[in-house]
Amino acid sequence: MRQQTIALRTSGKKLHNITSQVSAVLAQSGITTGLCNVFLRHTSASLIIQENADPDVLADLETFFSKLIPEDASQYRHTFEGVDDMPSHIRSALTKTSETIPISNGKLALGTWQGIFVWEHRNLGHTREVLVHITGC
């Protein structure tokens, strides 16, 4: 078993690919078969598995969520932390804060075009913590 925290400095609202960092934790564990749980310790960002080949997919996701969840302070009561904070909480609630990925032959058993992303929902960058927990043999 191995557990490690990855600290990620985001650069504002966008998707940040962390697949290589999670794979590095797996490699250090020596585990060849098992499960990798990835958990994001925040409520205004998300963790998703998504297309990692065509950046247009990530741009389209951001565009869709911007239309679905507008940054309009008149629509929310929770505005103390800025106009982008409550929409960030809604985005996080509609996506995920954890993912579990099978481990096969010492590798993350992701599909060909899949990557693990932290999706920063705030306009300014933040330091985000991702807890990687690996179990198996």
- Which domains are seen in the chain, by residue range? 2-136 (2.60.120.460)
- Compute and round to an integer the Cα radius of gyration of the chain: 16
For residues 8 and 39, give the distance between their C-alpha atoms in angstroms, rounded to a whole number. 13
Tell me how many degrees the CA angle 131-132-137 measures, rounded to the nearest 5: 150
* Residuewise pLDDT in 10s, the chain (137 residues): 999 999 999 999 999 999 999 999 999 999 999 999 999 999 999 999 999 999 999 999 999 999 999 999 999 999 999 999 999 999 999 999 999 999 999 999 999 999 999 999 999 999 999 999 999 99
Structural tokens at position 130: 């991702």
Residue 71, helix vs strand vs coil? coil
Nearest to 128 by CA among 3, 2, 14, 1: 14
- On whether the CB atoms of residues 22 and 36 are closer than 8 A, the answer is yes
